[in-house]
Amino acid sequence: MTTAPWPYLDTHQSRTHEPTPYEHKLAATLEEVFTKDGHELADVIRGLNSRQVHAPDGAPWTEESFRAEMHRLGA
Amino acid sequence: MTLSTTATAEHIYATGLRNQWHPVVPSDFVAPGAMRKVTALGEQWLLFRRSDGALSMLADRCPHRGAPLSLGKHLGDRVACWYHGVEVETDGTVSSVPGLPGCNLEGKKLVTSLPVREAAGAILAYFGDEAHPEPAELTLPDPLTDPEVEPILCYAEWNVPWRYAMENLLDPMHGAFLHHESHTMYDGDTTAKFRIRETHRGYFFEKTDQRGVNFDWVELCRTGIDWVDLTIPYPPSAGPGGAFGIVGAACPVDAERTGVFFWRYRRVQGWQRDTWRFLYKTLIEKRHWEVLEQDRVMLEAMPADADQGENLYQHDLGVVRLRRLYRAQAESQSAAADG
Cβ neighbors of B247 (< 8 A, separation 6 or more) are B141, B143, B144, B151, B227, B228, B229, B261, B262, B263, B265
Q: Do A74 and B38 touch (CB under 8 A)?
A: no
**What integer pLDDT is reported at residue B216 of this predicted model?**
87
Bridge partners of residue B43, in order along the sequence: B40
> How many A/B residue pairs have CB atoms within 8 Å?
103
Q: Distance between CA B280 and CA B293 in Å, rounded? A: 17
Q: What is the pLDDT of residues B216-270, one digit of tens each?
A: 899 999 999 999 999 999 999 999 999 999 999 999 999 999 999 999 999 999 9
Confirm whether pTM is higher than 0.90.
yes
Evaluate whether ipTM surpasses 0.95: yes
Neighbours of A42 (CB within 10 A): 10
Q: Which of B140-144, B187-191, B206-210, B328-332 has the lowest mean pLDDT?
A: B187-191
Q: To the nearest whole angstrom, how far is the Cα of A70 from the nearest Cα of chain B?
A: 5
The closest of B87, B291, B293, B60 to B179, measured between CA atoms, is B291
**What integer pLDDT is reported at residue B187 of this predicted model?**
75
Q: Distance between CA A67 and CA B270 in Å, rounded? A: 8
The closest of B304, B273, B54, B326 to B150, measured between CA atoms, is B273
Q: What is the pLDDT of residues B59-115, one digit of tens each?
A: 999 999 999 999 999 999 999 999 999 999 999 999 999 999 999 999 999 999 999
State how far Cα B155 lies from the chain centre: 9
Angle between helices A63-74 and A41-50 in degrees, nearest 10: 90
Q: What is the pLDDT of residues B110-146, one digit of tens each?
A: 999 999 999 999 999 999 999 999 999 999 999 999 9
Q: Please give the residue that has the higher pLDDT: either A57 or B212.
A: A57
The closest of B129, B115, B126, B44 to B334, measured between CA atoms, is B129
Q: Do B286 and A12 touch (CB under 8 A)?
A: yes
* pLDDT higher than threshold 90 for residue A52: yes
- Measured between CA atoms, the residue of chain B closest to residue A14 is B281
* pLDDT higher than threshold 80 for residue A3: no
**What's the mean per-residue pLDDT of chain A?**
94
The closest of A52, A44, A26 to B240, measured between CA atoms, is A44
* Residues of chain A numbered 13-72 and touching chain B (CB < 8 Å): 13-15, 19, 23-24, 27-28, 30-32, 34-35, 39-41, 44, 66-67, 70-71
Best residue in A37, A70, A72 to probe B by mutation, most B CBs within 10 Å?
A: A70
Q: Do B29 and A7 touch (CB under 8 A)?
A: no
Q: Distance between CA B191 and CA B202 in Å, rounded? A: 25
**What integer pLDDT is reported at residue A1 of this predicted model?**
55
- pLDDT tier at B189, thresholds 50, 70, 90: confident
Closest Cβ opposite residue B70 in set A1, A31, A41: A1
Closest Cβ opposite residue B283 in set A8, A27, A66: A27
**What integer pLDDT is reported at residue B336 of this predicted model?**
67
Q: Do B271 and A1 touch (CB under 8 A)?
A: no
